[in-house]
Amino acid sequence: MDLSTLVGTILVLVMVFWAMAMGSGGLGLFWDVPSAVLVFGGTLAVILMNFTFGDMKSLMKVMLRSYSVKLRTPEQEIERLLEYATVARKEGLLALESKVNEIDDRFLAKGLQCLIDGLPPETVRSILQMEADVQRSRHAHGKKILEMFASFAPAFGMIGTLVGLVQMLSSLKDPSQIGGGMAVALLTTLYGALIANTVCLPLAGKLDLRAKQEAQLRLLMIDGLLGIQAGERPAILRERLEAFVRPQARTRAAA
């Protein structure tokens, strides 16, 4: 589990709701059904106009992975690849077949299977590079959806503000109606800002970061697998793959 995403989400929600609850009116003061329907429902509706139900389903999976799956570090991947390199040099590439079912990363498992099947190096690189490009495109698509959520939610908040102001101004002769119109005017703006800044933009940033981290790991895996296929000694392979590791971590490993 990615604790930083989970902890950050919990903290921001706790602080926002705590600030709301500390007021004299409590949390109930910040709930208005028409405002919520206008902002949440309107934003979802225009997102569906831009994307498909399949896109939304894929987005939910990617968002859940942001919370539930923590990426392995380059150091961990290097150690795993060196283990495979040692086995391949001692027993041959076919000995790696028993390792495929143990791998939880579909990309690495696919690459290892390519080596076992005896595909040429250029074919292995082409297959894995295409797989990495598709994964990067999927992350970029999810990020785009979240960024559109973040742009439409405040826009519908502004629409709600205008609706509330019209209602309020049309009820100036009846003071009892002014409060309801003002509530819609202010709460829709609040809802739009909360959706954009506590959910959509942070998760879009997380997806962008994960996409870059995954792209780096994919490059590391491709180079490592091709090195294993070429029969490189594990020590030489380590020296080459440590280019993907931060210098400070490289120094600690060497020490």
Number of residues assigned to the chain: 255
Q: What is the pTM of this model?
A: 0.78
Domain-located, residue 10: no
234 and 56 Cβ atoms separated by less than 8 Å = no
Determine how many CB atoms are found less than 10 A away from the CB of residue 128: 21
Q: How far is it, in rounded angstroms, from Cα 224 to Cα 76?
A: 13
pLDDT tens-digit map of 188-216: 999 999 999 998 999 899 888 888 889 99
Domain-located, residue 94: yes
Domain-located, residue 22: no
Determine how many CB atoms are found less than 10 A away from the CB of residue 186: 18
Domain-located, residue 60: yes
Domain-located, residue 156: yes
Domain-located, residue 3: no
Question: Containing domain of residue 141, as a range?
Answer: 33-254
Q: How far is it, in rounded angstroms, from Cα 182 to Cα 142?
A: 35
> How many structural domains are present in the chain?
1
39 and 185 Cβ atoms separated by less than 8 Å = no
152 and 121 Cβ atoms separated by less than 8 Å = no
pLDDT tens-digit map of 87-108: 999 999 998 998 888 888 899 9
Domain-located, residue 5: no
pLDDT tens-digit map of 121-135: 999 999 999 999 998
